[in-house]
Chains A and B, each alone.
Chain A
Amino acid sequence: MRLMVPLAALASLGLSGCVQTQQYADLQFAPPQGDYRLLVLRPDVQVGAVTTGGMVEARADWTEQARANVVAALRAQQAGRGAQATILESRAALPGVYAEQVAELERLNAAVNQSIALHKYSGATLPTKRRRGLEYTLGEVAIGFGQRTGYDYALFLHAQDSFASGGRVALQVLGIAGCFVGFCAPNVGGAGQFAYASLVDLKTGEVVWFNVLQAGSQVAGMKMGDLRTPEGAAQLVERLLGRMKPGRDIRRAQAAQRAER
């Protein structure tokens, strides 16, 4: 009987790792295909170590490695879709556009993203936006930006990853060992991936697609991905951008077409 608790705890270890995404799209959104021009604005990547106490300590070398991996993976993934993708590493790197105009677009997007996070992901749903997909726009600023630069889409991406330090893993081992004496802490957790991306149509200014990815485990030391390796970065890009679903109206039209055939 006394073994039941630790056994149940061990059984839960296998279940506690998880990867989930939640995407929203404009009702009329069709994922870009074929020959389109995409601008990726300064992918924001941060990687750190989780201390024994549970704080995330930024690591410069891991971050640089991960950023390079994510940029390479993005390039490969977009080339596969037929895009001519430009990945902007700094605000001043776009010919013919002032760094301040790039900054303006980034800040506007950040503000709209906050709104999306609040009303689409944090439970504060708006009655006026129910069942309307993604109804957000960056307005004239984005249209003007598209006209000046000639790009069809802008993609914004943020990714962070963290790994349990040796101390954190030791704490987890102690927590699991405790299960045998009646003090059970099998889910110390703390490390994992979090990423989001938003796609803006620069012809209409609208945010047409948004996706959030979470990948992590409640057990410190168990990894669900690793941005420090090229394979891990490719996995994150695939999870985040690989399965872009069309908007509801487009899906219905496609279903109707299939039914006719």
Chain B
Amino acid sequence: MKALSRRSLLAGAGAATLFGSAAPARIPPAGISPLVGPGYRPVDADERGMWQQMARVEEEIAGSNLLVKDAALNAYLGSLIGKVGGPATRDLRIYLARIPEFNAMMFPTGMAVVFTGLLLRMRDEAQLAGVLAHEASHFLLKHQIRQWRDMRRKTDVLSFASMLGGVVGGAAGYYTGNLDQLAQLGTILTLFRYNRQLESEADALGIKLIAGAGYAPISMAETWEQLTGEIELSAAVRRKRPDRGYSIFATHPAPRERMIDLRASAAELAIPGRSYDRGRERYLSAIAAIRPTLLDDQVKLNDAGASQYVIQTLAGDGWNGLLRFYEGESLRLRNTPGYDARAALSYAAAVAYPDAPADAWRWHGIALMKAGRGEESRAALRRYLSLAPTAPDAPFVRQMLAS
């Protein structure tokens, strides 16, 4: 029994080093190309089954009341994913869901779902194009069916091997249960590892696609740099240890690893002397109508560190009234002594910009009132009323001003 457990340990260690290393090697963009052409339809039985199941899923998503119904914005996203969709330009659909998280996903049939939290964090069209190209690459490289087949093959082999091992062991009077459990763990680790490899593939093809469409290839690395910074600050404010995503059970490579690999790939793809498009103005005008909602949803998540990081990162391209106002909101909602004064400074800064939202004047007025500056406060609140005469609290503010 002793000998067996020592052998099991060795086998386990072997399994971990062979299959479990958290960071797969970088996949060079030059060596990767789409596996599907325009108008792709599945032929094999397993893939047809998968596509059929997805038909109802898409019907459900397309009719979801979480979707943002801004027609111009949806058309913009649709044309952008087409621009970086390689051969699948006309086959990709995109749905924008109002969920304040950094996420986007691709389904096997070419349907992508993007969360509003992603649009909040992107600084320009090039960064968004990078994420959409990554998602398009999952479709172009047939990732879901390849993952399913990998899982099917490995679980087939595992079940047969453990049954056969059990029978042989039974005949020889040898207990194989421990080895069997180790083989299970090893299999699970290789499944996660394969998933991380597919993510690296999607990064490699994605960056190639955006470079081909004329976007700065470095923009994909920036996205991960921004996410890493946000995770660090979010954890620091909550006094927690940041989850940096290094794990043998992770489905995606760690953000920092992705950033490093994407930087190396960008260096390979960037043509010196060429000027790349960032599309910042186009992007900002496309999201202009929902940007207040994006910021509002974020500050109400009660994740002060993340909100602060996101707002300051966006302000890296220049402050404006909207960003200053939501900086103030994020500080005020901390509800911690000392932060009120900092919030008041943000509101005061916000109203100095011509694009300050009406609510900035409201909170500016309230902050002035608390500070005992009655006359200035009344002026600010009057300004609020003139900007938002039908606000739900307008009668109260009028009452306040009259008394």
In-complex Cβ contact of B166 among A52, A59, A183 (8 A): A183
Q: Are the CB atoms of B155 and A183 closer together than 8 Å?
A: no
- C-alpha spacing A182/B167, complex, angstroms: 8
Q: Are the CB atoms of B163 and A58 closer together than 8 Å?
A: no
Q: A148-180: which have CB < 8 Å to B? A: 167, 170-171, 174-175, 177-178
Q: Is A55 an interface residue (CB 8 A)?
A: yes
Question: Closest CB-CB distance, A100 to chain B, in whole Å?
Answer: 6
Identify whether the interface residues of B are mostly helix, strand, loop, or mixed.
Answer: helix
With both beta carbons as reference points, the residue of chain A lying nearest to B172 in the complex is identified as A181
Q: Is B159 an interface residue (CB 8 A)?
A: yes
Q: Are the CB atoms of A52 and B170 closer together than 8 Å?
A: no
Encode contact with A along B134-171: 1 for CB under 8 Å, 0 otherwise.
Answer: 00000000000000100110111111100110110111
With both beta carbons as reference points, the residue of chain B lying nearest to A100 in the complex is identified as B63
Q: Is A230 an interface residue (CB 8 A)?
A: no
- C-alpha spacing A182/B174, complex, angstroms: 11
Q: Is A46 an interface residue (CB 8 A)?
A: yes
Q: Are the CB atoms of B160 and A59 closer together than 8 Å?
A: no
- C-alpha spacing A57/B47, complex, angstroms: 9
Interface bracket on B: 20 to 34
Q: Are the CB atoms of B49 and A48 closer together than 8 Å?
A: yes
Q: Is A185 an interface residue (CB 8 A)?
A: yes
In-complex Cβ contact of B167 among A54, A58, A103, A183 (8 A): A183
Which listed segment binds A: B50-58, B75-83, B123-131, B253-261? B50-58
- Known pairs A59-B45, A61-B45, A167-B160; list 16 more (Cβ under 8 Å): A52-B156, A54-B155, A54-B159, A55-B151, A58-B46, A58-B50, A58-B52, A60-B52, A61-B48, A167-B156, A171-B159, A171-B163, A174-B160, A174-B164, A175-B163, A182-B170
Binding site for A on B (CB under 8 A): 45-46, 48-53, 56, 59, 63, 148, 151-152, 154-160, 163-164, 166-167, 169-171, 173
- Cβ contacts A to B, 26 pairs, < 8 Å: A51-B152, A51-B155, A51-B156, A52-B155, A53-B154, A53-B157, A54-B159, A55-B152, A57-B49, A58-B46, A58-B49, A59-B45, A59-B48, A60-B51, A60-B52, A91-B63, A100-B63, A103-B63, A170-B160, A174-B164, A175-B163, A178-B166, A181-B167, A181-B171, A183-B166, A183-B170
